[in-house]
Amino acid sequence: MWNNFKNGFIKENPVFGLYLGMCSTLAISTSLNNAIGMGVCVTLVLIASNVIISLIRKITPEEIRIPVYIVIIASLVTVCEMLVHAFMPELYTSLGVFLSLIVVNCIILGRAEAFASKNGVLASAVDGLGMGLGYTFALLLISVVREFLTTAGLQFVNPFNSTQVLWSFSIEALKPYTISLFSASVGAFLTFACFAAIFTILRNRSSKKEAK
């Protein structure tokens, strides 16, 4: 169970290992706030959907399992979206349509089909947590690089109160040398490509050690 949890970070990282959820990853990773907000939402939906699907796996007819999974995921995403809209309107506006598109995020349906439908509740919850944190980790890496290169600093705002800055860091000397390219889609792809290469190297090294 612990190994399955760890796999979500390096070996089977949803973004850098399995290349899932790429649309939302590249689109909303412009700031630290967006990354944390989307990461938390996806993690909660992953855990809840895995648990529910694991609970009903033995009574779900094989022929309709995918539609059942989609209905469960869509219901959970709708609840999550309503809560974000009610309590974190600034985050809701920043994430935009990508919050609703969690429904079609391949990570969630993929884990439901590949793991939760075949394993117990606790193992499925741990799998959802590991994959969700792995996805959040990937978002954070990309967003930190993009935000820093674009603004020469990082900032985290209270999601419940957009006027309250919880943490801020900037290097004034670097502000004239910021690279606006990284706020665009091209910058997102470049950042992703660099991290994907790094993670591939780490996985290859890990595989060689296991082989020995």
The domain ranges of the chain are 2-211
What pLDDT score does 212 carry?
Answer: 66
What pLDDT score does 153 carry?
Answer: 93
What pLDDT score does 21 carry?
Answer: 84
Summarize the chain as % helix, strand, coil (round to 5): 75, 5, 20
CA–CA dist 210, 212 (Å, integer): 5
What pLDDT score does 171 carry?
Answer: 92
What pLDDT score does 1 carry?
Answer: 64
CA–CA dist 30, 44 (Å, integer): 22
Question: Where does residue 97 rank: exposed (0-12), middle (13-18), buried (19+ CB within 10 A)?
Answer: exposed
Enumerate residue ranges in the chain where pLDDT < 50. none
State the pTM of this model. Answer: 0.91
CB 27 within 8 A of CB 96: no
SS (HEC) of 115-174: HHCCCCHHHHHHHHHHHHHHHHHHHHHHHHHHHHHHHCEEEEECCCCCCCEEEEEECHHH
CA–CA dist 115, 98 (Å, integer): 25
- Rounded to the nearest angstrom, the gap between the alpha carbon of residue 4 and the centroid of all alpha carbons in its chain is 17
What pLDDT score does 2 carry?
Answer: 67
